[in-house]
Structure 1
Amino acid sequence: MHDAPPAAEPAGITGTEPEPLSHGLKQRHMTMLGLGGVIGAGLFVGSGAGIAVAGPGIVLSYLIAGALAMLVMRMLGEMSSAMPASGSFSVHAERALGRWAGFTVGWLYWFLLVVVLAVEATGAAQIAHGWAPSVPQWAWVLIFMLVFTGANLAAVKNFGEFEFWFAALKVGAIVLFLGLGTLAVFGVLPDTSPVGLTNLTGQGGLLPNGWAGVVSGVLAVIFAFGGLEVVTIAAAESDDPARAVARAVRSAVWRILFFYVGSMLVIVTVLPWTAMRPGQSPYVAVLDHIGVPAAGQIMNVVVFVALLSALNANLYGSSRMIFSLAERGEAPRALLTVTRGGVPVRAVLASVAFGFVSVLLNLKWPDSVFLYMLNAVGAVLLVVWGLVAASQLRLRRRIEREAPERLTLRMWGFPYLTWVALAAMGAVLGLMLTDDAARPQVMWSGAATGAVLLVAGLREWRERRARA
């Protein structure tokens, strides 16, 4: 093992030093990361809550939320292909807006990942405990954490292989679902008759709860798109970072929207939206309706894989983010130790340690201590996306001025669509404040963001005093 050399001050565009990490991720890993990174349990299970408030209008909700996620992904792709770094948007924020921004977005995102990791580990353990009741839930959590810690401490290609096959299974499941659902709509499957547009026009029509329902649906589903950021973090460890991230973003952006919107269209066309039961996966409901045997267990396997995939990706993303913070002097330098295989071992262990703490809190106090932590990261994703957009606005012009040849992937309609995305994020936060269920998330996330900003401000004030 060795300590990584100090990173160059990330102020310019052309003077970046190479990352001390491994370059074991291949193009197929990056492409599947881009495709599978946002396909998680939030889609397979959480979409039911969106259908309950929006009805068939959930298709429009996913179109709106998906369009915003696509814009953010394109911005991330533009900056990451021009300036690949293990800290991705944290490094970009520092270069564009100053150290306070890089510090704030980096620590907020790290905190977000290690807290959400607990939800994923606990959810996967609940499913596994249902299959093997003799093994206690806490033991399953321990097994998952140990397995994926080992995978992340080994060569980065192991992480890439895990995610490649996890993503392949998720993508395959959605493609199969879309195929079966489409056949059911036209009555091609045995014991089915053509559905037509009956379920889209009946039970209150396309918008049974009006546009207010569509907006509520957006609030219910937008956070399911979290996870798209990991592909830009992983870009720094690919063979050709600039080319790899550009290709991954291009291939993922439209397909993701197709998977999400296509799935919702099939669901609300095959079944009346009023038939959805709270807590039940709408995918299971459709598969049961068209006569797929053991649909519930099949979807349980898919959700289980989706949770483990997210757990693996979050461990990876959090370790690389805190390593990048340490490189720039924003986290303890002890975290810079890198193995001969290019793995930031202490950064991985630090993230896993906090992840274990989060899991224990979730198992012991799910409705008190852990609930406050979960609320504290509830709206952080929008803060991160907002800083991504603000960074892209400033960096795009600087790259065009200093190194235009690095713009291999460009944001659409710059700067207008970037401003549209920023306005949309502000609107979502405003709407969350008017929603009784979402308001605590905004308040607690605002407090967490304020605390990190305060620490960043105090650090800069102390450094200015020391220089003076």
Structure 2
Amino acid sequence: MSDFKNIQQRESGLKRELGPKQMSMIALGGAIGTGLFLGSKFAIGFAGPSVIISYAIGGLIALLLMGALAEMTVAHATSGSFGAYAEFYVGPLIGFLVRYLYWSCIVLAVGTEVTAIGEYMQFWFADVPSWLWIVLFSGVLIGVNMFNVKAFGTMEYWFSTIKVFAIVAFIVMAAYVVFGSGNPDYGFHNYTAGGGFFPNGLSGMWFAVIVSIFSYLSIEMIAIAAGEAENPAVAVKKAFRVTIVRLFVFYIATLALILAIAPMDKILSGGSPFVTVMQVVKIPGADSVLNFVVIIAALSAMNSQLYVSSRMMFSLSRAGDAPAVLGKVRANGSPVNALLLSTSGIAVATIVYVLFPEQAFTLMISLSMFGAMATWLLIFVTHWFFRKRMASEGRTLSFTIPFFPVGTILGGVLMVAILVTTLWVEDFKMTLVFGVPFVLAVIGIYYFTRSRRAQSRAVTAEQVQDEITGTVVKRVP
């Protein structure tokens, strides 16, 4: 494993200051955001009450992915994470591709979060242009991420704590409304009202899985954060167990209760389904409280995504696959140049929101989804090669998950199926239209940069030889 140690050494310079609690909250912070609080409305539009199955399928894929990442991260903790693993176990091209795919999807996902914040703020300030909120909140979070990782971890811990507390409170309140209020308007009979449990058939349920993947996106950032954890092995194991349980409970339980309380027409015509539920049950001021929470959720996810996108660009720079200036680290351990480049998604989101305010959120999701799904697929591929390499070398892993290779194969097959499905979903047609040319462009960049680098090394070697022998070599162009 000496070669991988070289990769870890290459990516040194970041400070190990994140504890297990912060690591767990970082994973939750990324995965409990706009995808749950606003994206779930679009998933319900596809699937109706069967969205519960959609999110269960997405949760299964997320569980398999987290297990694969936990195995590899406990073995090798580095900020390059699955990009570094792909480089080492599959090949340099795949490592290059994974890093750029993931960086692009997270940068665009930052745009979805900040777009959602602009929409949420309309609840209170309908006359204030949304782009002003986008600029304001973006500036604050960029400033936080310029400090050391401990500042980021502390803010993310409290952001996520507020979200978790609010979701638990919501579940308790909604459970009382459904089971204890005695109001016949609320209950699971609403699942079959207004078109039945599968109002758009099995295809609608399957289409909603695409949105569920977007909702679970960012659970993988725990593997990247492990590169700055105080004790990576302990932190990753704990975060893996805690995060999966909480995600399943939070997503499935909240959606089940929302659909038992709010009529479908109100969910689809409103903003966040959480706020809609508060309006339906008519608890004074509760809708404003929930709107505040969903804004915190979006800020939290945006905060996490700025962090992880800057670390992935830092890793690309240290690998020689991005300009060297992006691999520089401040004395406080923050890769500020990589961070500033990673804010480009905010600029894209602002422009999209100004030009297409009604379609901005779904358009940003469709653009970011290709990189997300392709990255998850390549993580499963990398895990296959990782386990095969470990077995061939007779190495024993200190942390393993059951059901290999079935779980890894199942996760990969499901991701391929979901990617192909986007061709038949109007809202996601831009996913492959954007994604396929992007992949071809990245592959082209890879071979171009490698060719230039090889030529540079060849010229340098000849110059050294010239100096040694004192001769002049005539080079043929």
Find the counterpart in structure 1 of residue 422 from structure 2. Answer: 432
CA RMSD of superposed structures (Å): 2.8
- In 2 relative to 1, CA 128–264 (structure 1 residues): closer, same or farther, beyond 3 Å? closer
Instruction: State how 1:185-334 maps to structure 2 within 5 Å.
Output: 185-186=178-179, 188-189=180-181, 192-193=183-184, 195-334=186-325
C-alpha distance in structure 2 between counterparts of 1:237 and 1:267, whole Å: 38
C-alpha distance in structure 2 between counterparts of 1:315 and 1:299, whole Å: 24
User: Counterpart of 2:407 in 1: which secondary structure?
Assistant: helix
Find the counterpart in structure 2 of residue 412 from structure 1. Answer: 402
C-alpha distance in structure 2 between counterparts of 1:194 and 1:371, whole Å: 31
Q: How far apart are residue 200 of structure 1 and its match?
A: 2.9
Instruction: State how 1:66-85 maps to structure 2 within 5 Å.
Output: 66-85=59-78
AA matched with 1:112:
C
TM-score (normalised: structure 1): 0.89
Counterpart contact for 1:13–1:402, Cα < 8 Å? no
- In 2 relative to 1, CA 335–300 (structure 1 residues): closer, same or farther, beyond 3 Å? same
AA matched with 2:242:
S
The structure with the largest alpha-carbon Rg is: 2
Question: Which is worse superposed, 279-288 or 420-429?
Answer: 279-288
User: Counterpart of 2:322 in 1: which secondary structure?
Assistant: coil
Q: How far apart are residue 121 of structure 1 and its match?
A: 2.4
User: Counterpart of 1:86 in 2: which secondary structure?
Assistant: coil
AA matched with 2:203:
A
TM-score (normalised: structure 2): 0.87
Question: Which is worse superposed, 233-242 or 200-209?
Answer: 200-209
Q: Deviations over 1:218-277 (max 9, x none)?
A: 233321111112211111111011221121111111220111111111122234445533
More helix by share: 2
- In 2 relative to 1, CA 127–370 (structure 1 residues): closer, same or farther, beyond 3 Å? closer
Q: Deviations over 1:437-461 (max 9, x none)?
A: 3222222111112211221133334
Q: State the percentage of identical aligned residues.
A: 34
**Residue 144 of structure 1 pairs with residue 137 of structure 2:** yes
AA matched with 1:277:
L
**Residue 58 of structure 1 pairs with residue 51 of structure 2:** yes
- In 2 relative to 1, CA 220–311 (structure 1 residues): closer, same or farther, beyond 3 Å? closer
Q: How far apart are residue 206 of structure 1 and its match?
A: 2.8
C-alpha distance in structure 1 between counterparts of 2:155 and 2:92, whole Å: 34
**Residue 421 of structure 1 pairs with residue 404 of structure 2:** no
- In 2 relative to 1, CA 94–200 (structure 1 residues): closer, same or farther, beyond 3 Å? same
**Residue 445 of structure 1 pairs with residue 438 of structure 2:** no
Question: Which is worse superposed, 158-167 or 9-18?
Answer: 9-18
AA matched with 1:140:
W
Q: How far apart are residue 402 of structure 1 and its match?
A: 4.7
User: Counterpart of 1:438 in 2: which secondary structure?
Assistant: helix
- In 2 relative to 1, CA 286–123 (structure 1 residues): closer, same or farther, beyond 3 Å? closer
C-alpha distance in structure 1 between counterparts of 2:105 and 2:445, whole Å: 17
AA matched with 2:199:
P
AA matched with 1:444:
F
**Residue 343 of structure 1 pairs with residue 334 of structure 2:** yes
Which stretches in structure 2 are left out of the alignment for 5+ residues?
459-477
Q: Deviations over 1:338-359 (max 9, x none)?
A: 222222222223323x245324
Pick one of 396, 416, 422 that aligns with 2:387: 396
Q: Deviations over 1:308-361 (max 9, x none)?
A: 112211111111111111111111112222222222222223323x24532443
- In 2 relative to 1, CA 128–279 (structure 1 residues): closer, same or farther, beyond 3 Å? closer
Q: How far apart are residue 88 of structure 1 and its match?
A: 1.1
- In 2 relative to 1, CA 27–106 (structure 1 residues): closer, same or farther, beyond 3 Å? same
Find the counterpart in structure 2 of residue 5 from structure 1. Answer: none
C-alpha distance in structure 2 between counterparts of 1:227 and 1:146, whole Å: 22
- In 2 relative to 1, CA 121–289 (structure 1 residues): closer, same or farther, beyond 3 Å? closer
AA matched with 1:291:
K
Counterpart contact for 1:166–1:305, Cα < 8 Å? yes
Find the counterpart in structure 1 of residue 25 from structure 2. Answer: 32
C-alpha distance in structure 2 between counterparts of 1:332 and 1:85, whole Å: 20
